[in-house]
Structure 1
Amino acid sequence: MGLPAIGSYPMPDRSAIPRSHVSWQIDPARAALLVHDMQNHFVRAFPAGRAPVVELVDNITALRELADTLDMPVVFSAEPAGQPPAQRGLVGDMWGPGIGDEPDAAAIVAPLTPRPGEHLLANVRHNAFLRSHLGRLLRSQNRDQLIICGVHAHLGVLLTAADAFMNDIQPFVVADAVADFSAEEHTLALRWAARTGVVCTTDGLLRALLLHRERRNA
């Protein structure tokens, strides 16, 4: 089984954001930004030039620009191309061989190409913490908050948020900066994410980050 056909659907608006069970406040001095699996292979499965992929890329771009401005670590997770069956393991049984050797399939989409000083981690499972040094990277920079965006909401995003929570890293899932196979799966993922962290919108998170900086500099 490979990626399913993905139809266009609208990004959730503020009224669709589930209530989080915690009142954590984002702090740019504690937070890092994770851009999960925003590779051509996955992004091209969405209808080009339509929702949700247009908003997905635009909102992640806005988050990444502010993160750079605020000196927050920016981390990209990316599935390696051409993984042998032994490396794919049970993921291969469920999702097939993964990214092939097609030109640029494994590359991060052009508007988000990693820059010098940003981090690019190979992830061989949906959970970006598993079999990677994401946890060590966050600890080395004294970061205990993780802003998560990218694809897919009910798989990599949700599993990464849950693992962050289990490791005492506060996850912030950005509802309109993630996307999924369908609106239903997107909504389901946000409901589960609200039980392990904060679910927010791009605009709300950007405002909170800027406000925190203004208060700190006052």
Structure 2
Amino acid sequence: MTQKPALLIIDMQNDFASTHAVNPVVGAQAVITPLTHLLSLFREKRLPIFHIVRIHEPDGSDVEWFRAEKFKSTPFAVRGSHGAAVIDELTPLPGEHLIEKVRMSAFIGTTLDLMLRTLGVNTVVVGGIQTPNCVRTTVFDAMAYNYETILVGDATGAQTKEIHEANVLDMKNIGVKILNTANIAPWLDSR
């Protein structure tokens, strides 16, 4: 089967990944350089790119119950705010897709699956933050939707190296292919 990959970049937004983040994700800064490299590769090959962003209503009416109190005290990813935007280093270009989500998985309540299928994509390459939450749920759902799934290990991050590595191992054990940024160009050339 011929592979048609798409790049999914998860939650690399100002409120989580910038140096001025209101709700900073430890490890986010470390994945910016690998993600810019991946983005360049996919742009060069004119492959589909999806920037997945968490967006919430200003009143927090769409926030998960277990994050509601945190949102009340420190709102994050509020629709229309600078904090909800993709960080400058990864700003989407015309023709790249921006998918808004309100839950951890990029597939729940979004048009992602429909758009991937319409574009003929059968393989997703995933990077971003955070490995045990939004990255992991997106990866598990991609597998459930029958996409070949590649996690770029050095382009994903978590609060600690141990948390990241445990989750990467768990994903590998369900059949997710784990590559590093350096392996993506040869993989793309071999497909």
Name the TM-score class by shorter chain. 0.7 to 0.9
- Match of 1:56? 31
Determine if the alignment matches structure 1 residue 135 to structure 2 residue 109: no
Gaps of 5+ in 2: none
Q: 1:87 aligns with which of 62, 68, 71?
A: 62
How far apart are residue 94 of structure 1 and its match? 8.0
- Match of 1:216? none
How far apart are residue 86 of structure 1 and its match? 3.2
One-letter amino acid of the structure 2 residue matched with residue 158 of structure 1: R
One-letter amino acid of the structure 2 residue matched with residue 40 of structure 1: N
Q: Distance in 2 between matches of 1:92 and 1:135?
A: 26
- Match of 1:206? 185
Q: 1:66 aligns with which of 34, 41, 44?
A: 41
1:173 to 1:94, Cα distance in 2 relative to 1, 3 A: farther
**How many corresponding residue pairs?**
182
RMSD of the TM alignment (CA)? 2.3
- TM score, norm. by length of structure 2: 0.86
Does the aligned pair in 2 maintain the 1:82–1:99 contact within 8 Å? no
Structure 1 residues 124-158: Cα deviation after superposition (integer angstroms, max 9, x where no partner): 00100001000001000111100000000010111
One-letter amino acid of the structure 1 residue matched with residue 37 of structure 2: A
* Residue aligned with 1:88, SS: coil
One-letter amino acid of the structure 2 residue matched with residue 57 of structure 1: I
> Displaced runs of 4+ in structure 1, greater than 3 A?
52-55, 81-86, 93-98, 100-103
Q: How does 1:36-47 map to 2 (within 5 A)?
A: 36-43=10-17, 44=21, 45=24
- Match of 1:13? none
Q: How does 1:68-217 map to 2 (within 5 A)?
A: 68-93=43-68, 96-97=71-72, 98-99=75-76, 104-196=82-174, 197-212=176-191
How far apart are residue 206 of structure 1 and its match? 2.0
Determine if the alignment matches structure 1 residue 33 to structure 2 residue 7: yes
1:174 to 1:95, Cα distance in 2 relative to 1, 3 A: farther
> Percent identical across equivalent pairs?
23
